[in-house]
Copies of this chain bind each other. A is one copy, B any other.
Amino acid sequence: MNILILSAGTRNKVVQFFKSELADSGKVIATDCSTLAPAVYDADIFRHVSRIDAPGYMEEVYDICTKDSIDGVLSLIDPELSMIARDVDRFKALGVTPVISDYELVETCFNKAKMAELFVRKGLNTARNYLSVDEFIKAKDRGDISYPVFVKPVCGSASIHINKVSSDEELIGLFSMYDDLMIQEYMTGQEYGADVYVDMISGKCTSVFIKKKIKMRAGETDKSISVHIPGLCDSIVRFVEEVGFRGIIDIDIFEMDGDYYFSEINPRFGGGYPHAYACGVNVPKQIINNINGEINPVTIGDYRDGIVMMKYNEIMIRDMNGEKMI
């Protein structure tokens, strides 16, 4: 079995995990638009591709699927997830299983307002949010919310253009300058992350790994500790099964005064997944099983708590053509 990892970037660990799980039974093929993406050099084969927004990009991906006899495909970057989800049938026609949720659901994940609505509809807590200044000011007058608040793009990825706002003037100023903004309750409290696998055949949630984030750096979890929180775990299982996620997803959660607030879902491997893998929550293996047509057993909670993950910098050395220097 051969696995294609798109836009591998700096996610060396994910590439290494798939290599290790496949062992001699298949190859890992990794793509990137840059030859300076260290993860591609940990793969068996590196395919240098165009930028994902270049015309004909998806055709390049299909060509790789054929040429390298690919069985399963996944992407590690947000903007590519919808592209894969939209073309699921095309991949399947080539005998390739895309590790991704339904297109509609993926799109919902990248729309903060729709996602919040989904959380609320399914009975989960989430930060209050408002799509217009009027709506927010009415809520503020009722005492539902107060400054400071976050103003952010409804569909933005990462931490781009997020402002902490403390006055009507600033709020009105931002809304007059930019389109598609939303106002979100300012969340504080302890952050948690969950790495969750939903079996792609049975639709059952098979793994939930919960970690408390100890230290952040440049928007990423730098240190975290594994924990068991049965109530939160149950909420996650119910939610992801009801909504119909498939494959690997990464969930961000805040805890305030004993309540858990769902903040975001990335329908892909999160940057902190190596912590789960090191604790025995083996998602690459479950993906390989699913692609082989095998249903994974439910192993929720099968990890030790109190295990700490600490990130540090490793380096990859190559010459400008991606060749090994020695």
Contacts and interface: CB of A to CB of B under 8 A. Distances in A.
A309 B313 CA distance: 11
B278 A317 contact: yes
A316 B307 contact: no
B278 A307 contact: no
A292 B306 CA distance: 43
A246 interface: no
A131 to B, nearest CB: 32
A48 interface: no
Interface residues of A, number: 36
Of A10, A274, A313, chain B has the most CB atoms within 10 Å of the CB of: A313
Interface string A302-320: 0010111111111111111
Interface stretch (A21-29, A49-57, A149-157, A217-225): A217-225
A318 B310 contact: yes
A10 B313 contact: yes
B218 A10 contact: no
Interface string A30-59: 000000111100000000000000000000
Contact of A314 (B307, B313, B317): B313
Interface in A284-326: 304, 306-320, 325
Contact of A319 (B214, B275, B306): B306
A305 B249 CA distance: 42
Contact of A310 (B217, B279, B316, B325): B316
Contacts of A314: 12-13, 311-314
Contacts of A223: 36
A275 B308 contact: no
Contacts of A318: 307-308, 310
Nearest to A318: B308
B36 A214 contact: yes
Interface in A190-234: 214-215, 217-218, 223, 225
B39 A312 contact: yes
Contacts of A312: 10-13, 38-39, 313-316
A308 B36 contact: yes
Nearest to A37: B310
A279 B318 CA distance: 10
A313 B316 contact: no
A274 B314 CA distance: 9
B319 A10 contact: no
Nearest to A225: B320
Interface of A: 10-13, 36-39, 214-215, 217-218, 223, 225, 271, 274-275, 278-279, 304, 306-320, 325
25 contacts: A10-B310, A10-B311, A10-B312, A10-B313, A13-B314, A36-B214, A36-B310, A37-B310, A38-B310, A217-B218, A218-B218, A225-B320, A278-B315, A278-B317, A278-B325, A306-B319, A307-B317, A308-B318, A309-B316, A309-B317, A310-B317, A311-B316, A312-B316, A313-B314, A314-B314
